[in-house]
Structures are given as structure tokens and as C-alpha cells.
Amino acid sequence: MNTIANHIADFLREYVPFNNLTFEELSTIATNIRVINLEINKTLFQIDDSLHDSFYVVASGLINLTVITDAEERILNKCHKGSIFGLRPFFEKNNYIMTARAREESVIYAIPIAVFRPFVANNTEVLNFLLDNFAVNTRNSKSNKNVHSNLISDTVAYSGQQSEMQYFQSLSYNNSPVIVTTATIVKDVAQLMAEARTTSAIISANNLPIGIVTDKDMSSKIATGQFAITVPVKSVMVSPVITVLENVSLAEAQLLMLKNNVTHLCVTTDGSDNSEVKGVISEHDLVVAQANNPGVLLKEIKHSHTALDLKLIRTRLADLIQMSIQKNIPLTHVSNIASEINFAIIKRAVEITLLKIGSAPARFAWLSIGSQGRKEQLLPTDQDSILIFEDVEPEKYREVKDYFLNLGEKTTLILQEVGYELCPNGHMASNRLWCKSLTDWTKQYNNWINTPGENNNDLSSIFFDYEIVYGEQKIEDTINEIIFKNVTNNTLFFDFLGNDALRKNAPLTFFKKFNVEEEGPYKDKFDIKTRALMPLIDGARLFTLSHNIKGINNTYIRFKQLAITLPKYAEIFLECAEAFLVLSKFRALEGLKNDNSGQYINLDELSKTDKEKLKNALAPMKELEDLIKDTFQLTQFS
């Protein structure tokens, strides 16, 4: 191997996934690598360019990946030394959907996909790396046990957790495939494929798939004269056929095609070639499926004009959430995606109303509160919101407030049509109590915090879990400042919040049995929301407010941050974080099964293992309760 190739191999072995290859394998790759020198602002590829035959690694310099969003160029990611990008040719056939441009003078290694593909197919670690990082942006580092390298994929045009949807995005496929026997002649198979307008035919024996023939086989083996058009299809078929279950995800299907170097997958009853054929997934199906990724859903939301349009999108989101739960996708990823889409739907509902009633007479902010504000709303529970408008002249106040009440009422009705039920407690922007000026909201929060319990029956802790959905960010920032200024060293307020957190009934009895409902429509069921999730939610909120932790509303992330802020109690907080995820999943599964909020768990339908898992998730709550009592010097009866 020459000196340059040796130098490249040494460089690659420092980064994942190349560190999983032997030096001999790296030497083979390095020998075929093309070195590209890019001057500043030079473009390697751009949107709509035909795909290259290579993917790229940054040897030195900086490459910006950009996309076009709302007619503006936006930086999706910055690729530093060791970053991998330009992987689209691995997974797709259509053109690039982003631009790669040198931000400074750079050296790039172009690795031919044909050379690298066998190492992906034959090395589990490399394949798993691609699967784990498929369309996900992570921070770059030299390889070690704890940090992944930077893999900047341009398989989707949306960064962050949206791309996680690839893992559980379902596929539509041809469920009426052409199925023939081994004796059928090629000419007849071609005729059947043409009539069915499909690119493949499954060859079966005893109703089981034993092979496949595709349009590619027809062109490479028949059109070239290698085989006569009158030979039995058995002569040209590819065997065995790669089989999958019908719920295979987009990412899984793409990687199976990559690993096996095929363009079609056969769907069977049990996912093996020992069961009946149900359909065929083609590369084209994967391209079509891209239309259901979160980015496309967000684009469709932006162009929606009616509640029905939004309802259809919300239904598609529910399907994706359900499939993610079934595929054991990390709940944190699913929540992030669901929250983004939920927020986009609410924002669009506000915009649709504004188009109907005319421009707002003052700047304002629409805030989601409660589970939506915490970005924990996986199921279609009720809507919670507040509206804050900027201060106006006293003589205009009533007119302006009436406008925003109208905005709140019409928007909440749209959201009700979409599938978000009205809040039974009236915590909505359509309520006169929760739609008011910034000054009035300032007074409201001052009263809640400084005189808790005094004529404050309307105080609900969900008003301290909020996230702006539409409007002026400065208004939300002002509310943040008011809250954290008032809560600092406010013993009275934390005494009130702490006792409120301790007031929830224990999830387990003295004898470690589930504390179930004793009467009413949910008799003998376990209230997982009130008895299990709310104490964790209340505890996380209490500690983050008392330790001045700003900008974090999500319960799981609050506990994670608390573990960093208060290392002495890190173990308790981390156990609470994991417990919250486990309990949230139980609730989501119950809700998806019964098409409701999942609040009441039917314990009789749980397996013994699941009951133990549920009971174990409740264990950290006693430690959290004791920590609250100790930290804030409370008793449950104070």
C-alpha cells in the first residue's frame, strides 16, 4: 500500500464506524479513496443534484450541510474533521435534498459505495452503527466507548429527533403481488408484471416463496440475450428471496436491502420463507414512504386550511406513535416527535383563526400548559392553554380582550374538532380567567407565588409548566423572569407546592398491593396518572423551581438535570427519570389499546411480569417523597 493510502487508513481507524474494521479492510478502502480539495465556498453537491457513487469523510476543514426551508437556506449541520456525510446514495435513488458546501478550505475523502458496501453487509458493528445513526445527527468525537462519531446523513432534510421517526415509520406495499410457479415461462411472467404494473414477481412452491424475479433481472438476463424469453422463470429467478414481516419499518427495510444488495423484499405471514406471501416491498415503496416522515407532516400542517385537514394529520401521528411503542422505540424520541407535531397543529389552528377574524390588535403569546407544555402528550388528552397579550391603553382593554377571547374560543373549537378535547377544568385560552394582559398575568403569578392558599383555589401547578406555541417569545421570557424572581428563597410557596405534591394518595398499600379505585366507573382499576405519574411530575417541578433551573419543562429531562445539579441525590433522580418513562409507557399502551387517555389501568389484563415491572417503577416514589419532606422540612400533614 502506498504512503498516502497508509496515511488515510491510519486516519480512518480513529473514527467510528471505521474503527470496527481491520487494518487490512481499511487498507482496501483507503486504496480506492479519492482525495478532494475544496476551496472555501466550493460546493461538493447541491439540492437536486444526481447522487454520487461515493459518500464522504471530512479529513480537514469544515463542510456546511444546508436545506431550503420557507424559501430560505438553513444550516442543517456542520461537518468537522472525521464527520461522515453524503450517505444518501446508500439508501435512496432520488437526488440529493441538501447542499454540501465548504465553509473553509477543506480536504474530503470520497469513499466509493461499491467498495464500502461489502464491509457494511459483513460487519455487524458497522451495520448497527448505520442503523443506530440513520438520519440522526450526533456530536463528533474520536472513537471511544462512550461517544459515537459524527454521522451526518442526508437521507432526510430534517435534523434532530424528527428523523427518529424513520425507525418506526410504517410502509405501504403491494399486497397483490404477481405470484408464479417455477415452470412459468419468462415471457408470461413479463406479461403478468406489465399488466399488474409491478416491478417484480414472486416464484412460489407449495404456496411458499422460493425466489423472485425483477425488472432488473429481465433487462440484465433476458434483454441481453443471456437467456431466451421462453425459458422457465426458475432459470432467471434470484433465490432465496429476502422475507420480512409486514410491520417492518422504513429504516429496517432500507438496511435489509442494503445488506443483501436487493431491490425488493417479500412480505410473509411470519416474516420467514416458510409462510405464505402477503406482498412485496420495492425501492419505490421506500421513496413513497418518505412522504410520511415528520418533516412532510409538518409541511402539510403549514398548508392545512381546515380542522379536517389537521385531524387527518393527527390521526397519522397517532398511528406512528402506536407503531413506535410496538417497536420499543425510546419513549423520549417519540415524545419529542409527537410534541413537535402537536405544537405545529396548535400553531396552525391559531393561524387559521387569525385568517378568519383578522390581525390581532396587539402582540400576544399562546402558551400550551400542563402535559402539552411539558411535551409529554402522546395520547389525545384534553387541551390546556393560556393567552397573554401585551398591555394596551385602558380605554382599549375591553375591546382587545374581547378580540383575544374570540381568538381563544374559535381556536379551541378547531382543536376540539381535530381531536383535542376541551379541558374539563376550563384551563384554556377561551376562558376569561386565562386570557388577559401581561400586567394581569404578572399580578396573577405574583399572587399565586407570594400568597399561596389565600383565595387561590384556582391555583394549579400546571400553570408552571408552559411552552410558547405561537406569538411573541419576549412575553414568555417576561413570565419566566417574574416566576423565578418571586420563587427565590420563597419558603411559603415551596411549602405549599411541597405539601401539594405529598397530598397524592400512595400508589401501593401498606401490604404492597396496588391502591385501586374503590367505587365508580373505574372500580378496581389503577389510576396511573394521579397515583404514579403526578407525584413524579410534581416532584420534578418542585425541585427545578427551587433550584432555579430554567427552560426545562419535561419531567424526564428535569430529573436528568437535577441529577447533575444535585449530585448527592443523583441516584434518586435518575431512578425517578427511568420510572417516569416506564409508567408513561404503561399509560400509553393502555390508552392506545382502549382509544382513551390511558389513565386507568386494568390490572387483570397485565401479565405477572408486567405487574412486577409496574410495581418496581413505583419504588423510587417513596425516596422522592422522603427527599421532599427532608429538603423542605415538611410532613404530609403540615
Among the listed residues 558, 610, 559, the one whose alpha carbon sits nearest the alpha carbon of residue 582: 610
**Spatial separation of the C-alpha atoms in residues 302 and 625, rounded to whole Å:** 44
Among the listed residues 316, 342, 340, 16, the one whose alpha carbon sits nearest the alpha carbon of residue 168: 316
**567 and 437 part of one domain:** no
Q: pLDDT digit string (tens) for 532-570?
A: 999 999 999 999 999 999 888 999 999 999 998 999 999
- Asked whether the predicted pLDDT for residue 36 surpasses 80, the reply is yes
Counted residue by residue, the chain has a size of 638
What's the distance, CA 538 to chain centroid? 25
Instruction: Look at residue 459 in the predicted model and tell me its pLDDT.
Output: 63
Question: Half-sphere exposure of 204 toward its Cβ, with a 13 Å CA cutoff?
Answer: 20
**279 and 298 part of one domain:** no
**38 and 107 part of one domain:** yes
Write the single-letter amino acid at 585.
K
Per-residue DSSP letters for 594-622?
HTS---EE-GGGS-HHHHHHHHHHTTHHH
Instruction: Look at residue 503 in the predicted model and tell me its pLDDT.
Output: 79
Confidence of residue 356 (pLDDT cuts 50, 70, 90): very high
Confidence of residue 467 (pLDDT cuts 50, 70, 90): very high
**304 and 272 part of one domain:** no
Confidence of residue 574 (pLDDT cuts 50, 70, 90): very high
**609 and 594 part of one domain:** yes
**252 and 327 part of one domain:** no
**Spatial separation of the C-alpha atoms in residues 429 and 410, rounded to whole Å:** 10
- Within a domain: residue 225? yes
Q: How high does pLDDT run on average in the chain?
A: 84
- Within a domain: residue 587? yes
Higher pLDDT, 210 or 118: 210
Give the global pTM.
0.63
- Asked whether the predicted pLDDT for residue 137 surpasses 90, the reply is no
Q: Across residues 41-47, what is the average pLDDT?
A: 93
**56 and 154 part of one domain:** yes
**321 and 357 part of one domain:** yes
**b/e per residue 188-224 (b: at least 16 CB within 10 A):** ebbeebeeeebbbbbbbeeeebbbbbbbebbeebbee
Bridge-based pairing state of the strands 106-112 and 34-38: antiparallel
- Within a domain: residue 440? yes
Residue 252 belongs to domain with CATH number = 3.10.580.10
Instruction: Look at residue 210 in the predicted model and tell me its pLDDT.
Output: 94
Instruction: Look at residue 382 in the predicted model and tell me its pLDDT.
Output: 83
Instruction: Look at residue 540 in the predicted model and tell me its pLDDT.
Output: 95
Percentage of the chain modeled with pLDDT above 90: 48
Query: Residue 183 CB: number of other CB atoms within 10 A?
Result: 9
Estimate the crossing angle of helix 307-326 against helix 397-418, to 10 degrees. Answer: 50
Q: Across residues 45-54, what is the average pLDDT?
A: 91
Integer-rounded Cα radius of gyration of the chain: 29
**199 and 212 part of one domain:** yes
Choose one of 289, 319, 340: the last residue of a domain: 289
Among the listed residues 130, 110, 143, 140, the one whose alpha carbon sits nearest the alpha carbon of residue 14: 143
Residue 87 belongs to domain with CATH number = 2.60.120.10
Q: pLDDT digit string (tens) for 200-258?
A: 999 999 889 999 999 889 988 988 889 999 999 999 999 999 998 877 777 678 777 87
Among the listed residues 557, 534, 531, 533, the one whose alpha carbon sits nearest the alpha carbon of residue 544: 557
**277 and 219 part of one domain:** yes
Q: pLDDT digit string (tens) for 260-279?
A: 788 899 999 888 888 899 99
Q: pLDDT digit string (tens) for 413-429?
A: 999 999 999 998 899 99
Residue 405 belongs to domain with CATH number = 3.30.460.10
- Within a domain: residue 415? yes
Instruction: Look at residue 630 in the predicted model and tell me its pLDDT.
Output: 92
**11 and 89 part of one domain:** yes
- Within a domain: residue 603? yes
Confidence of residue 121 (pLDDT cuts 50, 70, 90): low
- Asked whether the predicted pLDDT for residue 146 surpasses 50, the reply is no
Choose one of 228, 263, 289: the last residue of a domain: 289
**Spatial separation of the C-alpha atoms in residues 458 and 417, rounded to whole Å:** 27
**Domain range spanning residue 194?**
178-289
Domain count, the chain: 4
Would you say 234 and 226 are in contact if contact means Cβ atoms under 8 Å apart?
A: no
Confidence of residue 122 (pLDDT cuts 50, 70, 90): low
Q: Provide the grid cell at 227.
A: 437467456
Q: Across residues 103-123, what is the average pLDDT?
A: 86
Choose one of 253, 274, 289: the last residue of a domain: 289
Instruction: Look at residue 54 in the predicted model and tell me its pLDDT.
Output: 93
**625 and 514 part of one domain:** yes
- Within a domain: residue 488? no
- Within a domain: residue 102? yes
- Within a domain: residue 611? yes
